[in-house]
Amino acid sequence: MRKIKYLIFLFLIILPIQTLKSEIIILSACDDKQDEFLKNEYILNLNELIMTRNYVYKEKTYQKYRLTDLSVKKSNSYVRNIYEEGGKILTHKHGYPQFYTQILFEKEKREIFIKTVLNGEVGISKISTCKKIEKFDQES
């Protein structure tokens, strides 16, 4: 019995006690250069490494896309995997090895960019500016 208590004691001392920290950034009321939205927001969960985009098109924008694609929905949401690199947050590459795009965020900034890579040539363009940014830190 003493050996079991001793082993449990050692295990508890050796096992580091960690606090889990979760960081969530919400960018909302985001404008767009070519489309109009009733709602356009990005939720970055840095703990789970996912980005969720929720949007609702204004009627004019919805009709424009509906003309060429019947699968377009007026209200939609999608999720992308993200990662941090050099203080920037990027979605995983979307496309082919020679040509791909990524959405690029910078912490504490309201602007959203698109990174386009074609045969190793990188282009970065601003696609949106958000009116509101909220950051939530949660410890458990």
Write the burial class of residue 105 (CB in 10 Å: 0-12 exposed, 13-18 middle, 19+ buried).
Answer: buried
pTM of the model: 0.78
39 belongs to a structural domain: yes
Count: domains in the chain: 1
Whether residue 37 is contained in a domain is answered as yes
Considering the chain, what percentage of its residues have pLDDT values greater than 70? 83
Question: Is residue 126 in a domain?
Answer: yes
7 within some domain: no
Phi then psi for residue 25, to 5 deg, are -120, 130
H helices, E strands: number in the chain: 2, 9
Report the C-alpha gap between 63 and 65 in whole angstroms.
6
45-100 pLDDT, tens digit each: 999 999 999 999 999 999 999 999 999 999 999 999 999 999 899 999 999 889 99
Q: Does the pLDDT value for residue 15 go beyond 50?
A: no
For 46, other C-beta atoms within 10 Å of its C-beta total 19
Q: Does any domain span residue 10?
A: no
**Distances 48 to 53, 61, 86, 110 between C-alpha atoms, Å:** 15, 32, 18, 21
In a domain, residue 14? The reply is no
Please tell me the distance from the alpha carbon of residue 53 to that of residue 114, in angstroms, as a whole number. Answer: 14
Query: Domain range for residue 59?
Result: 19-139
Residue 5 has pLDDT above 90, yes or no: no
The pair of three-digit structure tokens given for residue 140, joined into one six-digit string: 């458990």
What's the pLDDT score for residue 127? Answer: 94
Q: What is the mean pLDDT of residues 1-19?
A: 50
Whether residue 74 is contained in a domain is answered as yes
Specify if 85 maps to a domain: yes
